[in-house]
Chains A and B, each alone.
Chain A
């Protein structure tokens, strides 16, 4: 839907001035699903011209609120960051295909950097269904986690397994290494495992290959530059395979942003 949403909160998420939390109130909250995104006009202006896609990080239907967590990257997010509490934002969405929320088994989340943001909404939905959820999260250093919402995960009570590049928190290394260790220590598999991942393309590919060898069902959330967000402009193409294994283009905006890992062709680019 195309609506105006009121800015209820807009602040730093942690100490990093560049990572923000934006809470919006409006009708769009009623339909939102974890993994979907909002296509936001940062300003009613010709520059920045296009909308900016940002994932839904939290859904509060009773209060009609959606939370978006974002990193200020360039002009669009800079202009967005200046929108004050009480202001209105022109929002198209929720858009796209979200995550499947499991109602049985165990949910494993794998995040690289700020790719963790959309997984927060999924974890909350899984918690409502009492599905056991664990987050495997890789980031630069200790400070990053505090700035990127570690507190929100603690509030949710999700068990965490963290990795940093410099070893300042959790294990030194990559998320895929955490996953490997966890799998080894896992006692006799009984529950089906559902996995969801979001992060840089390289990490998603690695997690995808890993999940394939373990026969674990995995969904990944992808990013690509997009204009319309509705499947019309064909800007946000990624490569996939159809049911017969032939290469085909997928649209991140409407076929995704969440895909089954086996739909995505990682090496075609």
Chain B
């Protein structure tokens, strides 16, 4: 019997549990020649902001053991250009498309949410709260439960699309943040974003990134991400989209078993543009081998018997 790969999350019906992570998959078209987008559960497109952003100076990337640091600086064409130039094509894609929004004030998020409704053709909004709250001294929204709740509540009030809150791992207690976005009215939680890191170029004796700090992603962060998914799964009612270093199907299954309903593939696309496809196939074969009829049965299985 074929395995039922469908997942229903936040009222959206996904063909399978594999998404691509924001900022690693452009607007989808970049990967289309390598990975049939119709085979994916959906794609989460590059983070957009109210105004266009040129991003940070180079070097923006540095490789680290089993990982990489990035400081792209949210380069993006801005909301207006996104709606005019990217959305028409995205809408026509044979897969669910989730927009990712980033802002520097609650008003920024509210403004974008207002322009992105169900009739836009999007499946959901993912709210990236790992950005500095410029009006409140630059502390990231995602590190302050009250600010995180306020942003999610603002977005929730403005859009009829499902709202996915994307958590930052740069916190002492991820559960506090998960509960905060649940209070704010999120329909689902995605986690984790990148970990703040740094590396120094020992030859020229300067920080490797022009921006000094960057976000660490890739296999190196996976155990931390799995731990956070596990903790959050037990603390909130919301469905989870797990990510952080997922490179092969085994990694994806680990996240599902730890409590995620779906997974997102990020950095792995850079090494293998067919990674999401390989991962989807691997999950399917795993379910077959284990005699599991529906992939949704995997979610949180590792929690069984835990008090």
Report the Cα distance A48→B61, complex, angstroms.
14
Report the Cα distance A47→B245, complex, angstroms.
13
Chain B residues with a Cβ closer than 8 Å to the other chain, count: 34
The interface-forming segment of A58-66, A175-183, A219-227 is A219-227
- Which of these, B26, B30, B67, contacts A49 with CB under 8 Å? B67
Contact between chains at B271 and A49 (CB < 8 Å): yes
Residue B231 interfacial (CB < 8 Å):
no
- Which of these, A2, A51, A231, contacts B34 with CB under 8 Å? A2
- Which of these, A48, A50, A232, A254, contacts B25 with CB under 8 Å? A232
Most chain B beta-carbon neighbours within 10 Å: one of A46, A49, A231, A249: A49
Closest to A239 in B: B54
A: residues with CB less than 8 A from B are 2, 41, 46-51, 76, 92, 224-238, 247, 249, 254, 269
The interface-forming segment of B7-15, B68-76, B111-119, B155-163 is B68-76
Closest beta carbon of chain A to B273's beta carbon, Å: 6
Closest beta carbon of chain A to B147's beta carbon, Å: 27
Q: Which A residues are in CB contact (< 8 Å) with B25?
A: 232
Residue B17 interfacial (CB < 8 Å):
no
Q: Which B residues are in CB contact (< 8 Å) with A269?
A: 57-58
Report the Cα distance A48→B25, complex, angstroms.
21
Report the Cα distance A249→B78, complex, angstroms.
14
Report the Cα distance A40→B23, complex, angstroms.
22
Report the Cα distance A224→B269, complex, angstroms.
19
Closest to B23 in A: A233
Residue B244 interfacial (CB < 8 Å):
no
Residue B274 interfacial (CB < 8 Å):
yes
Closest beta carbon of chain A to B219's beta carbon, Å: 5
Contact between chains at B30 and A230 (CB < 8 Å): yes
Contact between chains at A50 and B270 (CB < 8 Å): yes
Q: Which A residues are in CB contact (< 8 Å) with B92?
A: none
Report the Cα distance A239→B218, complex, angstroms.
28
